[in-house]
Each structure stands twice: as structure tokens, then as C-alpha cells.
Amino acid sequence: MEESKQTTSTTDRFRSLLDIVKMNISDYFMFFALVVIMIFFTITTDGVFISSRNISNLINQMGYIAVLAVGMTLIIVIRHIELSVGYLAGFLGAFAAIAMTFWGWPVFAVIPAVMVLGMLAGMLTATPVAKLGVPAFVSTMAAGLIYRGALLLVTMGTGTIVIRDPIFNAIGNGFIPDLPFLSGFLPGRHKLTLIFGLIAIIWYIISAIRGRKTKQSYNFAVPNTGLFILQLVIISALIGYIAWILSGYNGISWSLVILLLVVLVFQFITTKTPLGRHIYAVGGNPEAAELSGISVSKITYIVFGAMGLLSSLSGIMYASRLRSATTTAGLGFETDAIAAAFVGGVSAAGGVGTIIGSIIGALVMMSLTSGMNLMGIDISIQYIVRGLVLVLAVVFDRITRRNR
């Protein structure tokens, strides 16, 4: 009797492990796909793709789309869509350029002002959606037209506005400084980047061990020690490798700093706080959420406000990267952000999708662009490939989710 009990629990445990792998296959799949894509381009470009310089560039190019993808994920999670973010980013970039160039505002006043403006714009777009149930598709498309007109209007007299502020321009082009007194050690490497990498590893290991200890103090099952150490080693190695690659060029860029901050804040909010839970609840079943005491319209305002804020960041990053505000800034950003979110596993049916997933989605799309550029593939083919990858990712997601 005792023996048969033992066997069941072992098979149960094995089955539950298999179930966990099966349940999460679509969560990990895109990460594996990203690794495969990166290895593929590394081989086809004789290692140029994985070079420090290219990875650094790739991240800077990705930044202004990735921050939009973070916001877009939440928008799609609550069953809406935001088509105005590209033009809003373009318009706010131009606003920042005008404020600095023509009005002489200091950069440290311009950036917060633009961010507040972005948030208000997002909430304004959300008003017909939250209060009257107007489809977000219509409301945000209308807003996009308005911002596009506004962008053309403010740049009508001048055309492209050149930005000369060095601090502003560093956002899209600059890197964090290195430690001068360590110049003899590891020549050609960015030391502060390596130190930050090390800090990140230590912080990760400490918080992982702490989380495990807390779980144990609750008498909850934890993965066995071997598996746990394996997980620590793999993730630490990954962080270390990324830091090592980045240190080989100019180190961590300011774009990456902004992106990491955005990801950290939004990852924290979505996974650890009641607000995050409420957002997913509204996406999963708005009526049930409302009857659970969650104000759907409040959540709608918050998510669109956050999207507006991130649009302003995107606009700042893009204008800074080009060192100017152009009449076509922001064109098509919304499409790239939506694509990144869907490649990253967000579901249009609502309630499903993670911040990390969308960042991986953005990395996949940007790696494709970068890799194919390096291989000298024509832009026409690039569009087709990216389209195919998008549809394949969503189809795969659909198939793996259906079996749950």
C-alpha cells in the first residue's frame, strides 16, 4: 500500500514537470527562436552579427520601438489597440526640438514636460474609449491623424529642425562614462559596464536565493537544489555574456539604460502589484473585473496614459538618435510595436501577454532587420521575411495555446 502510494507520487511529480514544460512551451519558444535567429546570422555573417559593435547598434535602434512595444502589450492585454503612438512620438519629438531650439527651454525641463504631455495625450485618446465605449481602433486612428497634422503644422515653416543640445542628443547616441582610474586594467573593455553586469548577477542570485528561502519557510515545494543551481548558472552566464559583449564596444548606451528602466518598472507593476493584476483581469473578463470592484474605465485611462508616456520616451529617443525632428518621424512605429507585441505572445482576445515577451518579440524583429542588412538582403525580401516571421509566431502561439 505504502509502496504504491510512493509510485503514484513519483509519476505525479514527473507528470506535473512535463505539464509545466508543456504549459509554458509557448512562453519559452520565442526565446529559443531568438537564440536560433542570432546563431543563424552569426554564422551567415562570419561573426559580424554578434560583434560588440553590431549588438550595441541593434539595441540603440531597437530602443524607441521596444518602449512602445511595452505599452502596446498592455493596450492589447486590455483588448484595445493604439494606432496613434507613432505620430504622437513624432509630434512630441518635434515639440521637444522646438522647445529647445526656438524657445530656449533647458533640456531638463523639456523632457519631463514632453512626458507629461504624452501621458495627457494618451488619456485624452482614451476618453471616448473609456467613457462611451468607442472602439479604440477608431479613437486612436483619429488621434493619429490629428498628431500627424500637428507634426506637419509645427514643422511647416522650418522643415527638419536640427537639435544641437549635447545632453539631449546623448540619449540616442551616447554611452555611460567609464571609470578613468581603471584604464590600465582590461584594455579595450568598458569597465563600468562589466561592473554593472557583475552587480546585476549578484543582485539576481541574492534575490533568487531569498525567494527560494521564503518559499521554503512557507513549506512550499521548491525545485531541487541541482535544478536551482543550474538555473542560477545559466541566467548569470547570460547576463555576464551580454555585459561582456557590450563592454567590447562603448559599453551600456543611454538608450539601453532607459529601456532597462522601462522594462523593470513595467515588469514590476504587471507581475507584482494589484494594479498589474487588475490590468490582466480587465483583459481576461471586463465584466467580471467590474463586478470584482475594479473600475474598467480607470484601468483604461491608466493603460492609455502609460502608453502616451512611453510614446513620449520613444519620440525623445528617436529625435535624439537623429539629432533632429523630421516631418516623417514616427511613421510606422505603431506597426512595429504591434508586431513586436504579437511575436512576443500577446493575445488579441485579451488578458494574455508579458512585458518580457514583447521585448523578446522586439529583439526578434530587430535581429531580423539587422542580420538581413548585414547579409545585404534587399529591403523587399526583408519585409516579406518579417511578415512571415510575424504570422508564423502568431500561428505557433495559437496552436500551442489551444491545447491548454
Partner 1 sequence: METPILEMKSITKEFPGVKALDNVTFSVRTGEIHCLVGENGAGKSTLMKVLSGVHPYGTYDGEIIVEGELQKFNNIRESENAGIAIIYQELALIPELSVYENIFLGNELTNGMVIDSNESIQQAVEILKKVGLDVNPLTKVKNLGVGKQQLIEIAKALKKDVKILILDEPTAALNETDSDNLLHLIQGLKAQGVTCILISHKLREVLAIADTITVLRDGKTVVTLDAHKDLVNEPVLIKHMVGRSIDNVYPKREKLPIGKETLRLEDWSAFSYALGRDILKNINLNVHAGEIVAIAGLMGSGRTELAKSIFGNPDRYRVSGKAFINGVEQKFRDPGEAIKASLAYVTEDRKGNGLILIDDVKHNITLANLKEITEGGVINENEEILVANKYRTQLNIKTPSIQQKVRNLSGGNQQKVSLGKWLFVNPGILILDEPTRGIDVGAKYEIYTLMNALVQQGMSILMISSELPEILGMADRIYVMSAGKINGEMPAEVATQEAIMELAVDY
Phi, psi of 350 (to 5 degrees): 95, 155
* Residue 273 binds partner 1 (CB under 8 A): yes
> What's the rounded Cα separation, in Å, for the pair 316 and 310?
10
Give the one residue of 13, 210, 215, 398 binding partner 1; rule: CB under 8 A.
215
* Residue 277 binds partner 1 (CB under 8 A): yes
* Residue 15 binds partner 1 (CB under 8 A): yes
SS3 label, residue 176: coil
* Residue 16 binds partner 1 (CB under 8 A): yes
Size of interface with partner 1, in residues (CB under 8 A): 29
Nearer to partner 1, 271 or 335 (CB): 271
Nearer to partner 1, 103 or 404 (CB): 404
Give the one residue of 183, 207, 285, 335 binding partner 1; rule: CB under 8 A.
285
The residue type of 170 is A
Nearer to partner 1, 295 or 327 (CB): 295
Q: Could you tell me the three cell numbers for 68?
A: 512602445
Site for partner 1 in 185-214 (CB under 8 A): 214
> What's the rounded Cα separation, in Å, for the pair 86 and 330?
4
DSSP H/E element including 18: helix 2-23
Give the one residue of 2, 156, 187, 218 binding partner 1; rule: CB under 8 A.
218
* Residue 8 binds partner 1 (CB under 8 A): no
* Residue 288 binds partner 1 (CB under 8 A): yes
Candidates 94-102, 259-267, 276-284, 387-395; binding stretch for partner 1 (CB under 8 A): 276-284
Give the one residue of 11, 292, 328, 335 binding partner 1; rule: CB under 8 A.
292
The residue type of 33 is A
* Residue 19 binds partner 1 (CB under 8 A): yes
The residue type of 341 is A
* Residue 290 binds partner 1 (CB under 8 A): yes
Site for partner 1 in 335-394 (CB under 8 A): 351-352
* Residue 131 binds partner 1 (CB under 8 A): no
User: From residue 32, how far is each of 37, 149, 250 by CA, in Å?
Assistant: 9, 42, 27
Cβ–Cβ under 8 Å, residues 94 and 147: no
* Residue 133 binds partner 1 (CB under 8 A): no
Cβ–Cβ under 8 Å, residues 36 and 318: no
Instruction: Give least dist CB 281 to partner 1, A.
Output: 6
Q: Which DSSP string corresponds to 192-250? A: HHHHHHHHHHHHHHHHHHHHHHHHHHTT-----HHHHHHHHHHHHHHHHHHHHHHHTTT
Give the one residue of 272, 379, 391, 392 binding partner 1; rule: CB under 8 A.
272
Which own/partner pairs from 97-104 qualify as long-range (CB within 8 Å, at least 24 positions apart)? 97/161, 97/162, 97/163, 97/319, 97/324, 97/325, 98/154, 98/161, 98/325, 100/163, 100/165, 100/168, 101/161, 101/162, 101/163, 101/164
Nearer to partner 1, 156 or 221 (CB): 221
Nearer to partner 1, 22 or 53 (CB): 22
Instruction: Give least dist CB 263 to partner 1, A.
Output: 18
Instruction: Give least dist CB 78 to partner 1, A.
Output: 13
Binding mask 135-174 for partner 1 (x = CB under 8 A): ----------------------------------------
The set of residues, in sequence order, having a beta carbon less than 8 Å from that of 151 and lying 6+ positions away, is: 87, 90, 91, 94, 327, 329, 330
* Residue 289 binds partner 1 (CB under 8 A): yes
Nearest to 56 by CA among 184, 190, 166: 190
> What's the rounded Cα separation, in Å, for the pair 122 and 366?
26
Kindly list the residues in this chain that would bind partner 1 in the complex (CB under 8 A). Answer: 15-16, 19, 214-215, 218, 220, 272-274, 277-278, 280-281, 284-285, 287-295, 351-352, 403-404
